């Protein structure tokens, strides 16, 4: 879901974190979210990865949510291929997009439609003050997708949106795009 689509959609969204992800990355920072999303956040802090997976699945069953974000640390046993497949099927059935962020995770089996490695990248120099930090930047590598070739980009925040550019070469987080409305199930094709 693009942010311009999210701007016209006033439904809330769900962000679920397990305890380890909360410790590593902190709670979502409302002022750092796009203005159209700030007042719509529902945050769940789960004690275990299994509790987080349960909350994600229940959130996906709720069509009153515009989308669901899950954040898990590492490669928890509970997030098996079967568990990821179950999330994919529930997301597809109910038409709720799911993004699963796996912090400090190794690549393993997943039923996600798109799999990305995302890590921080060097910021470009600031425009006015050479001693200030530059705008945030990320290196994004698409390493698995059914309908897209693999690729690598540098994403920069220009204050309005993310701008993609050519990559240069830093610890990666894995982002799984599990389902978007209109996607077909991996099991069917």
**pLDDT tens readout for residues 12-63:** 999 999 999 999 999 999 998 888 899 999 999 999 999 999 999 999 999 8
Contact 15, 46 (CB under 8 A): no
Residue ranges and CATH numbers for the domains of the chain are: 3-188 (3.40.50)
Task: Identify the CA nearest to 178 among candidates 74, 43, 55, 67.
Answer: 67
Contact 155, 119 (CB under 8 A): no
Least confident among 98-112, 139-153, 165-179 = 165-179
- Helices 49-60 and 81-94: crossing angle in degrees, nearest 10, is 20
Average pLDDT, the chain: 82
β-partners of residue 177 are 99, 114
DSSP conformation letters of 124-150: PPPSS-TTS----EEEEEEEEESSS--
Q: Which residues contact 93 (CB under 8 A, 6 or more apart)?
A: none
**Dihedral angle over CA of 35, 142, 180, 109, nearest 10:** -120
Least confident among 56-65, 83-92, 130-139 = 130-139
Per-residue model confidence as pLDDT tens digits over 147-186: 888 888 888 877 777 788 776 544 445 454 444 444 433 3
pLDDT for 7 equals 53
> Average of pLDDT values for 126-146?
84
Within 10 angstroms of residue 83's Cβ, the number of other Cβ atoms is 19
């Amino acid at each position: 879901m693009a942010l311009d689509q999210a701007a016209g959609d006033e439904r809330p969204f769900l962000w679920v974190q397990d305890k380890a992800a909360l410790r590593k990355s902190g709670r979502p920072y409302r002022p750092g979210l796009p203005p159209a999303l700030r007042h719509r956040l529902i945050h769940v802090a789960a004690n275990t990865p299994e509790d987080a997976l349960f909350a994600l699945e229940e959130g996906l069953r709720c069509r009153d949510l515009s989308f669901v974000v899950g954040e898990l640390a590492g490669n928890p046993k509970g997030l098996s291929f079967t568990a990821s497949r179950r999330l994919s099927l529930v997301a597809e059935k109910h038409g709720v997009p799911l993004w699963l962020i796996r912090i400090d995770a190794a690549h393993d089996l997943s039923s996600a439609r798109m799999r990305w490695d995302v890590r921080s990248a060097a910021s470009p120099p600031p425009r006015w003050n050479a001693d200030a930090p530059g705008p945030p930047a990320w290196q994004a590598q698409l390493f698995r997708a059914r309908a897209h070739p693999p690729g690598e980009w540098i994403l920069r925040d220009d204050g309005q949106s993310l701008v993609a550019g050519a990559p240069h070469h830093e610890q990666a987080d894995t982002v799984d795009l599990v389902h978007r409305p209109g996607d077909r199930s991996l099991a069917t094709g």
